[in-house]
Amino acid sequence: MRRETLALLAVFAVLALVPVLAELTGQTSWTRLVGQALIYGMAAASLNFILGYGGMISFGHATFFGIGGYVVGILYFHFDEGTRFLGIIPGTGQMLLTLPAAILVSGLAAALVGALSLRTGGVQFIMITLAFAQMFFFLFISLKTYGGEDGVMVRRTNSLPGLNMRDKATLYWVILVVAAGYYLFLRQLVRSSFGQIIAGIRQNERRMTAMGVATYRYKLAAFILSGMGAGLAGALMVNFLRFASPDMLHWTRSGELMVMVILGGVGTLAGPFVGAAALTIIETLLSRLTEHWMLPVGVLLLAVVLLSRGGLMALIARMTGGRGK
């Protein structure tokens, strides 16, 4: 317990120093890299809640990531033009409005997708979530107003009262604080009464039904919560990269999130963040050397999955002699 708190504080402190260290050493690209890893870590962690803790293998999780991102993009677009979305909703560039809006809209999308796909299970569930993801992908491509295949630019990062959000380091710290908050939220959720029911459903849904649990309801609630988390991550990503594109919703993005979860450690709190960091850093380093950087990544993934049951978190736990939680 104490040990966990200390470890979390240490990791937070190191991450908070990244922009300072990057500035000092002249490696300014590191701030961008770690910021991206944190955002992907949030998206992967949200997927891990249903995949690792709930046993629902969703293959369309990038949908909610993309929708969250597009909410920021579209709101900014109308703010910039001085028009209204569907003639009703005015645009905005205030982060205190755009993030909740992104969470809300991606939650609604997750409610729609989950309500239909959770009536099935196993391979059917995987295929239906993938089918929904493709539908949303082509929907956003067809939105010519918002740039179609090119996506929509956000020329200025959303503003927060009292902060200079045009400063890259400030934006990074905002992302770090949101990511830390999200980590603590998931940690709480896993320990809650609701979290226990979800863990029970993963292990034996038939037993939970026999105990009187209407499992569908709980799975849907978990699916919606998870979609909201991905939407929040997407909204931050669009702020960070300053554009939203259909690429965010592509099915390979869903695959990448899954790779991050598996690489880091399925069903662990820190695993998805570790996996996201590992994949982002490897991708950046290797893509400088070769165009075919996916090949060594594939080999690495195979090695981690085969050699360390439980991903990188299991390796870390073995090295530090602690438990991988």
**DSSP letters for 265-288:** -TT-SSHHHHHHHHHHHHHHHHHH
Q: The tokens 């959000």 sit on which residue?
A: 165
**Residue with smaller CB distance to other proteins, 211 or 299:** 211
Alpha helix (H) residue ranges in 26-121: 29-48, 62-81, 95-117
What one-character DSSP code corresponds to residue 94?
B
233: tokens are: 């991550």
Say if CB 98 and CB 92 are below 8 A apart: yes
Cα of first residue to Cα of last residue in the chain, in angstroms, is: 11
Torsion of CA 104, 109, 114, 116, to 10 degrees: 140
**Residue with smaller CB distance to other proteins, 141 or 213:** 213
- Quote the least distance from Cβ 240 to other proteins, whole Å: 28
> How far apart (Å, rounded) are the C-alpha atoms in residues 136 and 215?
27
Q: Which of 62, 90, 66 is nearest to 76 (CA)?
A: 90
- Quote the least distance from Cβ 321 to other proteins, whole Å: 21
> How far apart (Å, rounded) are the C-alpha atoms in residues 85 and 286?
41
**Residue with smaller CB distance to other proteins, 164 or 209:** 209
**Residue with smaller CB distance to other proteins, 16 or 220:** 220
- Quote the least distance from Cβ 146 to other proteins, whole Å: 34
**Residue with smaller CB distance to other proteins, 217 or 292:** 217
Binding site for other proteins (CB under 8 A): 188-189, 191-197, 199-200, 203-204, 206-215, 218, 221
Q: Which of 103, 33, 107, 114 is nearest to 69 (CA)?
A: 103
- Quote the least distance from Cβ 195 to other proteins, whole Å: 7
- Quote the least distance from Cβ 220 to other proteins, whole Å: 12
Residue 154: its H or E element: none
**Residue with smaller CB distance to other proteins, 8 or 165:** 8
- Extended beta strands in the chain, E state: 84-85, 89-90, 152-153, 243-244
**Residue with smaller CB distance to other proteins, 25 or 203:** 203
- Quote the least distance from Cβ 214 to other proteins, whole Å: 5
- Quote the least distance from Cβ 44 to other proteins, whole Å: 21
**Residue with smaller CB distance to other proteins, 27 or 196:** 196
Q: The tokens 């695959």 sit on which residue?
A: 255
**Residue with smaller CB distance to other proteins, 70 or 218:** 218
> How far apart (Å, rounded) are the C-alpha atoms in residues 183 and 198?
18
> How far apart (Å, rounded) are the C-alpha atoms in residues 112 and 221?
12
- Quote the least distance from Cβ 196 to other proteins, whole Å: 5
- Quote the least distance from Cβ 132 to other proteins, whole Å: 25
> How far apart (Å, rounded) are the C-alpha atoms in residues 6 and 280?
26
